[in-house]
Amino acid sequence: MLIDSRTLFAPIIAECLALFLATGLLAYRSESNRSGLGWLAAALGLMACAFGLIALRGIVHPLLSVWFANICIAAATTMGTLAIASFQKLHLPAALIWGPALVIAVSFLLFLNDITIRLSVATLVHVVQNAFTMSLIWKARQRIPGVGKYLVLGGTLINSSVLVLRVLSSLAGLDAIHEITDSTVSQGIVYFSIFITLNLSPVGYILMDKETDDQRYRHLALRDRLTQCWNRAYLEQTALAEMERFKRYGSPIAMVILDIDLFKSVNDKFGHATGDKVLKGFAHIARTCIRNTDVLARWGGEEFIVLLPSSGLPAAACIAERIRQAVIAQSIAGIQLSVSAGYAVCNPDETWDAWFQRADNALYRAKAQGRNRVEAGTQNEQPFPASACSACN
């Protein structure tokens, strides 16, 4: 015995309202995605209104239970797309925003008494809307962390697939539908799929938003706020991982410690605001001199470290010299500066402290010998000439 279709509306409406309240509260409290969560809350509220009107079909006028209810569903789907677009900081053309609801409004008004045409038009519009929404997520999937995006994709795909199957079944005469509230197999499957979609897509969106916030907070926790370089905690974490890789696979790893010469005099003479500009300017220059695989971190004060995975002496010497030359070739915040550097390549079975100490000793030798120099960590690690810089390109 089939369940009466109207009976299935109750859990759908209840779930829409519950998610509407939860998402609205999250939107109110959100600092990063208030607009996106707001659109999602509005979509859920409008969806609850639409199914409430559909449940009243035969009781209220068809212009409300058929025409206006389907406009609400199209508008709610558009709001779901706007939630995704807002999450990605995208601006959609007006035609994409208002077009689906307008198509539904006109076509349903013209064919208010022809359910086959209404069903086909509504399915086509919703499938196109869902496909566009899925394309937005799929294109940005590499930039969106976590599994929330896959819940949104899965829920949207299920809904689209079932809608298409319902139309094909109706057109083939396998499961004729005379009224949207008919208790047929295809109708039952459609409403059940809507219930599943409402469990997957909104929850997936909320999870996607949370996972993105978590990643941003982790990113902020591991970044130096002033220079946007990695901080000391991230550097040590990465260095220890690379040292383990070195022990296991024999891939060398090098370190360069850089210190801006006479930085204290910059603060004393020009003020700390200018000193901050110098630090940010130096970080920018250093980034342009290293490879994508290298790690630039602010160790403390005016001291920076470059970690060079899969790199030996030539690369370390080259990077250090390249940064030194880049700094003296241009002014930073209107001040001509220089930098001293010391580098060392990690030895087998060497501890982090011992490796760091050798590079730090090299830096102190560069300072002691007049600054604006690059020194190696041991006597066996002699600086390479500038011509050797091709080794780290």
Q: Is 214 in the same domain as 239? A: no
Over residues 232-258, mean pLDDT: 92
Closest CA to 200 of 241, 153, 243, 237: 153
* Model confidence band, residue 388 (pLDDT cutoffs 50, 70, 90): very low
- Residue 116 has what pLDDT? 81
* 358 found inside a domain: yes
Reported as a single tens digit per residue, the pLDDT across 322-366 is 999 999 999 998 999 999 999 999 998 899 999 999 999 999 999
- Residue 387 has what pLDDT? 45
- Residue 3 has what pLDDT? 57
Structure tokens at 351: 């501890």
Average pLDDT of the chain is 88
The identity of residue 379, as a single letter, is Q
Q: Is 372 in the same domain as 258? A: yes
* Model confidence band, residue 382 (pLDDT cutoffs 50, 70, 90): low
Residue pair 204/144 in contact by the 8 Å Cβ criterion: no
Q: Is 212 in the same domain as 239? A: no
Count of structural domains, the chain: 2
- Residue 88 has what pLDDT? 94
Q: Is 216 in the same domain as 247? A: no
Q: Is 236 in the same domain as 217? A: no
Domain extent at residue 335: 232-392
Cβ burial of 53 (10 Å; 0-12, 13-18, 19+) is buried
Over residues 50-72, mean pLDDT: 90
Task: Provide the CATH number for the domain around residue 375.
Answer: 3.30.70.270
Q: How far is CA 230 from the centre of its chain?
A: 19
CA-to-CA distance for 191 and 197, rounded, in angstroms?
A: 10
- Residue 155 has what pLDDT? 93
pTM value is 0.72
Over residues 65-77, mean pLDDT: 93
Question: What percentage of the chain exceeds 70 in pLDDT?
Answer: 90
Closest CA to 54 of 106, 8, 105: 8
- Residue 105 has what pLDDT? 94
Structure tokens at 243: 């040292």
Element (DSSP H or E) covering residue 309? strand 303-309
Reported as a single tens digit per residue, the pLDDT across 111-158 is 988 888 888 898 899 999 999 999 999 999 999 999 999 999 999 999
Q: Is 217 in the same domain as 352? A: no
Q: Is 208 in the same domain as 255? A: no
- Residue 186 has what pLDDT? 66
Using N-to-C axis directions, what is the helix angle for 263-270 and 272-289, rounded to 10°? 140
Residue-wise burial string across 318-328, b where 16 or more C-beta atoms lie within 10 A, e elsewhere = bbbbbbbeebe
Structure tokens at 147: 């599994």
Higher pLDDT, 8 or 259: 259
Q: Is 181 in the same domain as 262? A: no
Q: Of the candidates 221, 246, 265, which is a domain's last residue?
A: 221
* 159 found inside a domain: yes
CA-to-CA distance for 49 and 63, rounded, in angstroms?
A: 14
CA-to-CA distance for 13 and 9, rounded, in angstroms?
A: 6
